[in-house]
Structure 1
Amino acid sequence: MKSQLLGGLAALAAFAAVGGAVVAWLPSDARGTSAPPSAVGSPTPPGTIGSPEPEPSPEESSAPPSPSTTPLPESGPGTFVIAPGGSERVGKGTPLRYRVEVEKGITISPEDVAAQVERTLADPRGWTADGHSAFQRVSEGPTDFVVRLATPATVDRKCAEGGLDTGGKVNCSVNRNVMVNLRRWVLATEFYREDVVGYRSLIINHEVGHFLGHGHVTCPGKGQPAPAMMQQIKGLLGCVPNVWPYDSDGRLLTGPAVP
């Protein structure tokens, strides 16, 4: 009986030792999270419409990898799938008709991209707050501009048609095309690691803003919202992140003009 008791105690001690090892291992294995790396326009070369975003800052290249599992091909066929359906008119005046397309081979649905673009252009803090801009998404018929989500190589090729160099990394607005780089759509920038969806609205507002004729501005003052037409990738210069052209009171969020 005594030997059985001693054997049982020894087994219990061994189990406790193993259990203690498991408890110590779990937290160390669970530690560590990753954040997406970073990446809106450089001056418009003469004779072009819109502008590309600048090269991503050094902070972007040193940022941790994105946890996203979305494939990020560098190139695609250059052909597109049109998002089906359409939207109601938003804003006052004659609506600008636009189409949303996604390059074939990208594993993001055109419907999802179209929904994001629609929400952005319909938001009361968007360009409709100017009192005369209006938008309507269509999937057929004539359009005023097209929003295209594409691989870096395709964006480069399209933007180069207007004399713009997007370097495989950034977006542009040229020849009635709002070209959205897949990497920026998925990875955002260092300033929007916690708000990738918000950054997508900034892409749309910035590049559609160029289509509407708006140029670049800079930070109006420390602690103020960064204007949507500011090249925020170059740094916020004391401003705080913001993706909307107007505030909730209908005031334009802008700053001193820059080249």
Structure 2
Amino acid sequence: MSPSPTTPPRVPASGPGTFTVARAGASSGGGNAYRVEVEDGSGVDPDAAAALIADVLAAPRGWAHAGARSFHQVAGGPAGLVIRIATPATTDRVCATGAMDTHGEVNCRLDEVVMVNLKRWQTGSPEFHGPLADYRALIVNHEVGHWLGHGHETCPGKGRPAPAMMQQIYGLKGCVSNAWPYDTHGTYLGGPSAR
């Protein structure tokens, strides 16, 4: 007997614009303090999302590779980085304050705030070939990469891993889907600057 197809998650188009802060996993550790917030009514558990984000930020192939930097989640007090998962309408509204048109489809970063579009978090991207968990890792790595000062990059050559700083949702240009800034040997998976 074959498994039944999975029903795609319900993604509300808009929400109240209020957020619940993830509390599980918060610590007073060193490194870059960040907070995870999830829009109310989105259907995403803030603590579960925060656990996934913490794994991405601590991954050896991520921005913490080889001890280059560390991150710790906070639930209150100052945070130099705030990662918000929000409905498409809320994401659009917040991103528009920075003159970015996200078309109900994509994420953005405004100073210390990363806006993760709920649609992308829940359904991935048709351009990304891999599991949803990998696409979520790409979202985190791409937007945190901007927060760290990295600009957009493009495909370095046919068949090579797409840079995490490439806007992979708009097509891979001959590269293969990739969620991580570094390979397993610690080599940066970059590409030419995209203007």
Normalised to the residue count of structure 1, the TM-score between the two structures is 0.70
1:166 aligns with 2:102: yes
Aligned counterparts of 1:88 and 1:145: Cα–Cα separation in 2 = 15
Compared CA separation, residues 207 and 104, structure 1 to 2 (3 A):
same
**Do 2:128 and 2:168's aligned partners in 1 also have CA atoms closer than 8 Å?**
no
1:89 to 1:229, Cα distance in 2 relative to 1, 3 A: farther
Aligned with residue 15 of structure 2, among 64, 72, 76 = 76
When residues 31 and 135 of structure 1 are mapped into structure 2, their CA distance, relative to the original with a 3 A threshold, is: closer
Distance in 2 of aligned mates of 1:85 and 1:252: 31
Identity %: 51
Cα deviation for residue 71 of structure 1 reads: 2.1
| CA spacing shift, 1:231–1:85, aligned 2, 3 Å | same
Give me the whole-angstrom Cα distance separating, in 1, the residues matched to 2:61 and 2:139. 15
- Extract unaligned runs of 5+ from structure 2: none
Residue 104 of structure 1 corresponds to which residue in structure 2? 40
Unaligned runs of 5+ in 1: 1-26, 35-66
Q: Within the alignment, does 1:175 sit opposite 2:111 as a pair?
A: yes
Tell me which residue corresponds to 1:145: 81
Q: Does 192-201 or 167-176 show the bigger shift?
A: 192-201
Is residue 223 of structure 1 aligned with residue 162 of structure 2? no
Q: 1:86 to 1:211 in 2, by over 3 A?
A: same
CA RMSD of aligned residues (A): 2.2
| CA distance in structure 2 between the partners assigned to 1:160 and 1:108 by the alignment | 23
Choose 249-258 or 80-89, whichever is displaced more: 80-89
Equivalent in the alignment of 2:24:
85
Higher relative contact order, chain-length normalized (CA < 8 Å, sep 6+): 1
Structure with the greater alpha carbon radius of gyration: 1
Q: Distance in 1 between matches of 2:157 and 2:189?
A: 11
Give the TM-score, by structure 2 length.
0.92
Determine the C-alpha separation between the residues in 2 that align with 1:164 and 1:196. 25
What are the Cα deviations for residues 193-225 of structure 1, in whole angstroms up to 9, with x where unaligned? 641111000000000100110001111111111
Alpha-carbon contact 1:217-1:229 (below 8 Å) kept: yes
Match of 1:149, as an amino acid? I
Q: Match of 1:204?
A: 140
Distance of 2:10 and 2:154 partners within structure 1: 34
Point out the structure with the larger helix share. Answer: 1
